[in-house]
Amino acid sequence: MTGRSVLAELGLQFAVISVVAIGGGNAVLPEMHRVVVDVHGWMSSETFANLYALAQAAPGPNIMVVTLIGWHVAGIPGALVSTAALTLPASILAFAASQVRSRWNQLAWYKSFERAVAPLTVGLVLASAWLLTTSADESKTSYLITAAAAACVLLSRANPLIPLAAAAVLGLVGLV
């Protein structure tokens, strides 16, 4: 692909993903992975997982992974195109949805719709977690560390950076 067609493809793919990102960026990670790894072969699963981890460790929005993917694929222009493609359609839809909600939020069918979308969002986020775990973990020890970190975050009020730091230390001493 030429430089222009890669940018166009990045823009198109992330604009489409933006429109279906009902539960936020993490809900569409499996689709992002499918597009950039399986369909286009722009990176490996391991690179995808590493870029996601880097985006989560950095301050800022959790969808920063899109910028890193764009940068990995096509440098600074790729970062700009992929970020704009993911944020602009979603921003326009969010504005439109807020206008609709302000008009319809008292209607029974609308309340039912809002309740029905919640489990869908949870399922998409769980699919994202599964994808990242199976992409990044390579041994029984790494799966155990992932499970322990998830349990720590889910069952306590501990800062998520604590299990992340513990896993980094385990990696530094060679246990992972």
**Domain edges within the chain:** 3-119, 137-176
Determine the residue type at 64: M
Give yes or no for residue 8 having a pLDDT over 80: yes
Give yes or no for residue 26 having a pLDDT over 80: no
125, 131, 135, 140: CA torsion to nearest 10: 90
- On average, the pLDDT of the chain sits at 87
Task: Tell me how far apart the alpha carbons of residues 159 and 152 are, in angstroms, rounded to a whole number.
Answer: 9
Sequence-ordered list of residues with C-beta below 8 angstroms from that of 176, at least 6 positions apart, any chain: 139, 141, 142, 145, 167, 170
Q: Which tens digit of pLDDT belongs to each residue from 45-77? A: 999 999 998 998 888 887 899 999 999 999 999
- pTM reported for the whole predicted model: 0.64
Which range has the worst mean pLDDT, 11-15, 22-26, 97-101, 123-127? 22-26
Give yes or no for residue 110 having a pLDDT over 80: yes
